[in-house]
Amino acid sequence: IEIDYWSQWFRSYTAAMVNYGRLAQRAGAELLCLGAEMDGTVQQNAHWSKLIDEMRRVYAGPLAYEVHGAIDFDHLPAWYRKLDIVGYSFYRPVATKPGATNEEMKPVIEAQVADMKRLAETLGKPLLLTESGAMSRKGA
């Protein structure tokens, strides 16, 4: 017997998110983020698409998902296009060596910002900076 673990997982996750969607609708939330940094799930296009459809039945506001890390523009998940807003977690190293100067880090930051802009333009969606930070380590 083959078990479809993805279907089971998404059934459970969708039930939880629909509950949050109903609460968000009642509370008048301005935005609902469907998840963050769930890299292992993002290529499950059919499951995410169905989850978004279910959310639209219970929540009328904009839906987002938080993308993080390097963006693979050749393999963007199809369901990203069903979102209203693309969230982005800016939490990547910008120093290429310990003790890097601001001038040395600036091109790395600029490249990451360019990726964020390209993602928003590619999807035709507004981009929301949902998280920003620096790791607590030397050279971060």
- Between residues 133 and 15, which one has the greater pLDDT? 15
Average pLDDT on 53-78 reads 92
pLDDT at 138: 63
- Could you read off the pLDDT of 77-108 as tens digits, one per residue? 999 999 999 998 887 778 888 888 889 989 98
Q: pLDDT at position 9, please?
A: 96
Band of the pLDDT at 137, cuts 50, 70, 90?
low
Amino acid identity of residue 74, one-letter, is D
- For residue 122, what pLDDT is reported? 93
pLDDT tens-digit series, residues 3-49: 789 999 999 999 999 999 999 999 999 999 999 989 899 999 999 99
- From edge to edge, which strands make up the β-sheet containing 32-36? 32-36, 63-68, 85-90, 127-132
The SS3 assignment for 89 reads strand
The more confident residue out of 8 and 133 is: 8
The pLDDT assigned to 140 comes to: 62
Q: Give the residue ranges of DSSP H helices in 5-135.
A: 5-27, 45-58, 102-123
Burial 19-49 (b: 16+ CB within 10 A, else e): ebbeebeeeeeeebbbeeeeeeebebeebbe
Distance CA 107, CA 119 (A): 18
